[in-house]
Amino acid sequence: MSENAIQAPGPSRNYSAFDAELTHQALNVRLFVRLLGWLKPYLITLFVSIAFVVMAALSQVLMPILTSVVIIDTILVPTTIASDAPDYGLLALVDWIQSTYALEALSAAGLVYVTVLVGQSLLSFAHQLTLYSCSLKALRDLRIDLFAALERKPASFFDHVGVGRVMTRVTNDVENLFQLLTGFGGLAGEFVPFFVALFAMLAISGSLTGVVLVALPVAAIATIAFRIAMRKIFRFIRDSVSALNQYMQEDLVGIDVVQLSGREKQNIEEYGTHNRANRGYEFRAINFEVLYDTFNMSLGSVVTGGIVWFGGGQVIQQDISLGSMILFTSLVQMMIMPIVSLGQQFNVLFRSMASGERIFQALDWDEQLHEPDEPTVMEGRLRGKVEFRHAHFGYYQGEEILKDVSFSIEPGEKLAIVGPTGSGKSTIIRLLVRFYDIDDNMVFVDDVDVNKIHSRDLRERVGVVLQDFHIFSGTVCDNITLNNPDITRERAEWAARSVNADGFIQELADGYDTQLAERGQNLSQGQRQLLAFARVLAADPEILVLDEATANIDTSTELVVQDAVAKLTEGRTSIVVAHRLQTIQECDRILVLHHGVVEELGTHDELIAKGGIYYTLHELQFQDADVAREVAREDEGSEGRTTDPRWVSTPEDPSDTPDRM
């Protein structure tokens, strides 16, 4: 590892870029091409899908031709005018059916009509299925890749980036791309008829086509003008909606404070301001929308009128047939439609490009732990030796949390680390399990540099109970096994029993199958901690690291927790970041850390003899821990509870859950 590893998680990275609004380029070709990379495994499906839509589009053009050239010009009002309108062999086909099956001309034409229509429906059905299939699969893969990339980001990343904003990339942003892929996949189906119609029209009458071609730029200009006008307003609407929702969300979360401060009226006023702003933008948007929609609707009719006027004149002069003129009015719709759809797609395109940028930014974020090229494989169980050699570390450049920290722990030994807030206690733990990149030859496990061990392997062997252990929504059992199939239910229950958690779990409504809310809101602080202990014990780590929670729990619960800690550390190399003196007492050696410097290290007796910081701390040590235990026990007993006397509260008691009040 290079020497600048220390600075890796520091401010050299601009994390705010991760939150900032991105460029909002309407069309970023590179992005689009990159996105296609995920479609690669499904390219065949995509091509098949496009082939289907092209065929469907071609058959779509056949129907107006059938109606006008075959049915009107040939059957209903036979014309003598040599029609230039292409019939794509339809006349011959109808003739052939007519003579082969001895049908009336009209019936033959109807039959062809039905066949073409059914064929077209089936083709576009097949097109949609294949298109959805390949888009969905590609996006599923993209989503998994994105999730996996986030999942493997180091702790320093999550120190700086909010979970909420990362999360929407996995959910909403990928969702936006679905509209993009299906939208563009379908667009082929709009443009094929456009050109086919254009050719057919040119074949019939160049001058009449001219009339239609005048309308096209008008439609295009209107669409572009509309998009430009809307671009800003859409942005305003988006921003105002998110301001609106954010305001409400925060108000709801802090509703107690709002009510206690008597701010209801003012907040209603402020929310009203956001709400009105949003309504204002929405009103502005619909002015344009209505105008544009109506314009599109009318344009078709105006062009039809033009065709009747000019085309009608040509029909009178016998330049074109009546059927050709009617064909023209049908084909016009086919030409205007794609322009309108393209206009609609712009909106999607716009949104998707921003989403794409956000997704790729997260994927490209190259912050990661440097894993060894050839990781050392540790055979069998670790002996459990841990060593720090002149370790230096800082979260930011120029800051040193740990300064020249050296110590070693022998297999099976229990080490307590004590020191004030910010002295670097928790940092030692984080380095040991490689939450952050560090220089080589600083931290060793069984005499192997941790940088040479794959972080996953290391973390399987070194079990950590963090201060901010997380309870996931799911059953109690799931929370102990963490869905690891290697851990059986029996093992989970054994682990819970071992750390005194069995008592309260049994009292939950469904025991080990009780559903827990996220963050364990239906458990008390002490219960959550015991659950975290059970989780670590079930994983049976070879080295145990425990960051004691500092949170205030009542005294009797604290005793239960301390007893569990003793059981956890039994027979294991253990490091305990201790906040409670009782825990310290049960450790073999004590390390006193201050300002990132190891001030004292030794056994209890040695440090007492030394007469330094620890000696001063110890002066007031407990006289008798057992007395304290007795006190708590008697106290519980006096209330006549029949359950485990050390356990304090049961979750059925609603006032026990840390509710909103």
Partner 1 sequence: MLASIGGLLVARLFDAIVPLFMKTAIDSLADPDIEPTLLVPVLSILGIVATRFLIYVFSQRALRRLSISVSYDLRKRLFNHVQFQGAHFFNRFGTGDLMSRAVNDVSMVRMVVSFGAVTILTTVFTLITGLYFMIMLSPSLTFWVVLPLPLVGVAGFGMARALFPYYMDRQEAMAEVTAFTQENLNGIRTVQAMAQEEKEIDRFRDVSTHYAQTVYRVNRYQALMNVVMGFISTASTVIVIFYGGALVLRGEITLGTFMAFFSYLMMVAWPVRMIGMSITMFTAAAAGTERIFEILDYEPEVDDASTKTVTTELRGRIEFRNLVYSHPGAPRPTIDGATFNIEPGETIAFMGRVGSGKSTLLNAIVRLVDTPAGMVFLDGHDIHDFPLHQLRGAVTLVPQDPFLFSMTLRDNLTYDDLSRGDELIWEAAEAAAFADPLRRQLAEGLDTMVGERGVTLSGGQKQRATLTRGMVRDAKVLLLDDCFSSVDTETEERILRGLRRMRGGKTTMLISHRVSTARHADRIFVIDGGRFKESGTHQELIARGGYYADLAAVQSNQDEDRERKARLLRDLDSEISAVPMPEAAKL
What is the footprint of partner 1 within residues 579-608 (CB under 8 A)? Answer: 580-582, 594-595
Tell me the CA end-to-end span of the chain in Å, nearest whole number: 51
Q: How far is the CB of 28 from partner 1 (least distance, A)?
A: 25
- Measured between alpha carbons, how far is 437 from 317 in angstroms, rounded to an integer? 86
User: Between 28 and 267, whose beta carbon lies closer to partner 1?
Assistant: 267
Residue 499's Cβ-count burial label (10 Å; 0-12, 13-18, 19+) is buried
Q: How far is the CB of 76 from partner 1 (least distance, A)?
A: 5
The reply to whether 268 sits near partner 1 by the rule CB under 8 A is yes
Dist. CA 433–CA 455, nearest whole Å = 7
Q: What is the dihedral of CA 613, 614, 617, 619, to 10 degrees?
A: -110
DSSP code per residue over 415-477: EEEE--TTSSHHHHHHHHTTSS---TTSEEETTEEGGGS-HHHHHHHEEEE-TT--PPSEEHH
Question: Nearer to partner 1 by C-beta: 28 or 542?
Answer: 542
- Binding partner 1 by CB under 8 A: which of 199, 206, 622, 643? 622
How far apart (Å, rounded) are the C-alpha atoms in residues 83 and 69?
8
Residue 225 lies near partner 1 (rule: CB under 8 A) = no
With respect to partner 1, which residue has the nearer C-beta, 28 or 113? 113
Closest of 90, 108, 106, 88 to residue 98, by C-alpha: 108
Under rule CB under 8 A, which residues in 274-293 are in contact with partner 1? 275-276, 278-279, 282-283, 286-287, 289-291, 293
Q: DSSP 3-state assignment of 543?
A: strand
Q: Give the pair of three-digit tokens for residue 477.
A: 């059992």
Residues 444-473 interacting with partner 1 (rule: CB under 8 A): 455-460, 463-464, 466-470, 472-473
**642 contacts partner 1 (rule: CB under 8 A):** no
- Got the DSSP string for 87-135? -TTHHHHHHHHHHHTT--HHHHHHHHHHHHHHHHHHHHHHHHHHHHHHH
Binding of partner 1 by 546 (CB under 8 A): no
- Smaller CB separation from partner 1, 88 or 147: 147
Smallest separation, CB 400 to partner 1 (Å): 9
Min dist CB 145 to partner 1, Å, is 10
Strands of 573-577's sheet, edge to edge? 462-465, 543-547, 573-577, 414-418, 589-594, 597-603
Q: Is the CB of 410 or the CB of 595 nearer to partner 1? A: 595
| Residue (25 or 107) nearer to partner 1, CB | 107
Please identify, among the stretches 227-235, 437-445, 492-500, 623-631, the one whose residues bind partner 1 according to the rule CB under 8 A. Answer: 623-631
Instruction: Please identify, using beta-carbon distances, which residue of 23 and 294 lies nearer to partner 1.
Output: 294
SS (HEC) of 196-207:
HHHHHHHHHCHH
Stretch that binds partner 1, among 222-230, 308-316, 356-364, 441-449 (CB under 8 A): 308-316
Three-class secondary structure of residue 587 per DSSP? coil
Please say which residue, 28 or 430, places its beta carbon nearer to partner 1. Answer: 430
Near partner 1 by CB under 8 A: residue from 257, 510, 513, 515: 257
Q: Which is nearer to partner 1, 410 or 558 (CB)?
A: 558
Is residue 231 within the footprint of partner 1 (CB under 8 A)? no
Is there binding between residue 238 and partner 1 (CB under 8 A)? no
**Rounded Cα gap, residues 654 and 305, in angstroms:** 74
Question: Is residue 26 a contact residue for partner 1 (CB under 8 A)?
Answer: no
CA dist 134 and 35 (Å) reads 13
Output the smallest distance, CB 30 to partner 1, in A.
Answer: 26
Binding residues among 333-372 for partner 1 as defined by CB under 8 A: none
DSSP assignment string, 299-340: HHHHHHHHHHHHHHHHHHTTSS-HHHHHHHHHHHHHHHHHHH
- Give least dist CB 319 to partner 1, A: 12
What's the min distance (Å) between Cβ of 27 and partner 1?
26
375 binds partner 1 (CB under 8 A): no
CA–CA dist 131, 358 (Å, integer): 24
Is residue 556 near partner 1 by the rule CB under 8 A?
Answer: yes
75 binds partner 1 per the rule CB under 8 A = yes
CB of 127 to partner 1, least distance (A): 9
206 binds partner 1 (CB under 8 A): no
Rounded CA gap, 635 and 644, in Å? Answer: 13
CA distances from residue 20 to 23, 238, 350, 584, 653 in whole angstroms, order as listed: 9, 15, 17, 46, 45
Q: How far is the CB of 502 from partner 1 (least distance, A)?
A: 20
Query: What percent of the residues of the chain are helix, what percent strand, and what percent coil, each to the nearest 5?
Result: 65, 10, 30
Binds partner 1 (CB under 8 A): choice among 180, 212, 450, 648:
648
- Is the CB of 361 or the CB of 441 nearer to partner 1? 361
Query: Closest CB to partner 1 among 441 and 597?
Result: 597
Quote the least distance from Cβ 307 to partner 1, whole Å: 9
Q: At what angle do helices 105-151 and 322-364 cross, to 10 degrees?
A: 10
Write out the H or E segment, with its range, that includes residue 409: strand 402-409
Taking the least distance from each CB to partner 1, the nearer of 460 and 510 is 460
Distances (CA, A) of 135 to 53, 181, 188, 247, 338: 15, 6, 15, 36, 22
Question: Cα(506)–Cα(188) distance, rounded to whole angstroms?
Answer: 62
* DSSP 8-state secondary structure symbol assigned to residue 66: I
Contacts with 178 (C-beta within 8 Å, 6 or more apart), sequence order: 135, 136, 139
Q: Does 433 participate in binding partner 1 (rule CB under 8 A)? A: yes
Q: DSSP 3-state assignment of 352?
A: helix
Query: Which residues from 411-430 bind partner 1, rule CB under 8 A?
Result: 420-423, 426-427, 430
Of 27, 92, 213, 255, the residue at the interface with partner 1 (CB under 8 A) is: 255
Q: In the set 210, 509, 635, 637, which binds partner 1 (CB under 8 A)? A: 635
**Should residue 570 be labelled a site residue for partner 1 when binding is judged by CB under 8 A?**
no
Based on the shown chain and the rule CB under 8 A, indicate whether residue 513 belongs to the binding site for partner 1.
no
Q: Does position 404 bind partner 1 by CB under 8 A?
A: no
Query: Does the footprint of partner 1 cover residue 148 (CB under 8 A)?
Result: yes
36 vs 77, which CB is nearer to partner 1?
77
Beta bridge partners of 547: 577
CB of 595 to partner 1, least distance (A): 8
Q: What would the x/- binding string for partner 1 be over residues 483 to 512, using CB under 8 A?
A: xx----------------------------
Binding mask 97-136 for partner 1 (x = CB under 8 A): ---------xx-xx--xx--xx--xx-xx--xx--xx--x
**CA dist., res. 503 & res. 505, Å (int):** 6
